Amino acid sequence: MPNIKSAKKRVLVAEVRRQRNMADKTRMKTQLKKFAAAVADGNKKAAERELLASVSVLDKTAAKGVIHKNAAARRKSNLYRVYNQMQ
């Protein structure tokens, strides 16, 4: 454990940020699973709705710095590719 006051604060702040980032990542993964489920069902309308929601969540997660902006772009590209391959 740190002895310096500023180091103690950094430990507390880091834990708060870690939990916040974890919540954002969980939200993102849940939304991506919803999209995958809609695609697996073959429901194009539901898949489109979940695609738009997923893109929004990815953008917000990248804006917060939880994931890199290029990682968000790559994931969005893959989502659109899967959606466009649906019949």
Question: What is the per-residue pLDDT across 49-84, written as a single tens digit (0 to 9) for each?
Answer: 999 999 999 999 999 999 999 999 999 999 999 999
**Which domain covers residue 48, as residue numbers?**
5-84
The whole-model pTM stands at: 0.88
The confidence score (pLDDT) of residue 1 equals: 82
The confidence score (pLDDT) of residue 87 equals: 74
Write down the mean pLDDT value for the chain. 96
Number of independent structural domains in the chain: 1
Cα(67)–Cα(85) distance, integer angstroms: 26
The confidence score (pLDDT) of residue 55 equals: 98
Nearest to 58 by CA among 40, 32, 82, 81: 32
CATH of the domain at 22: 1.20.58.110
| Distances from the Cα of 35 to the Cα of 7, 18, 42, angstroms | 42, 26, 11
Cβ atoms of 42 and 86 closer than 8 Å: yes
